[in-house]
Structure 1
Amino acid sequence: GSGKTTLSKALIKHIPEHERIISIEDTPELIIPQPNHVRLFYSKGAQGLSGAGPKELLESCLRMRPDRILL
């Protein structure tokens, strides 16, 4: 790959602990050590029970008052 996940993991370490983080992923790849985080997952294609994709989850997470959104 191009190192996107590796770069993201390195940058996450520099986010202050008091900030609210919401991540949107299709597979659990990110390690988020900060205590104030929420993980949202979506399924690719027709898999999964809900039809929510990244766009719908992004719209939903804006209502959760995040300081940072990781997509």
Structure 2
Amino acid sequence: GSGKTTLSKALIKHIPEHERIISIEDTPELIIPQPNHVRLFYSNGAQGLSGAGPKELLESCLRMRPDRILL
């Protein structure tokens, strides 16, 4: 790969603990040590129960008042 996940993991370590983080992923790859985080997942194709994709989750997470969104 091109190292996107490795770079993301390194950058996450520098986010202050008081910030609210919401991550949107298709597979759980990111480790977020900050206590104030929410993890949202979507499935590729029609496999998920809700049928929500990344676009729908992004729209929903904007209502959760995040300081940072990881997509």
TM-score of the superposition, structure 1-length normalised?
A: 0.99
RMSD (Å) for aligned C-alpha atoms: 0.4
Q: Which runs of 5+ in 2 are unaligned?
A: none
Shift of 1:46: 1.1
* Displacement after TM superposition at 1:40 (Å): 0.2
- Structure 1 distance, partners of 2:47, 2:13, is 32
* Unpaired runs of at least 5, structure 1: none
Between the two proteins, the alignment pairs up a number of residues equal to 71
Q: Secondary structure at the match of 2:62?
A: helix
Deviations 1:26-52 (A, max 9, x none): 000000000000000001011111110
Moved over 2 A (4+): none
1:7-63 superposed Cα distances (whole Å, 9 cap, x missing partner): 000000000000000000000000000000000000101111111000000000000
d(CA) in 2 for partners of 1:61 and 1:42? 13
Instruction: State the alpha-carbon separation in 2 of the partners of residues 48 and 56 from structure 1.
Output: 13
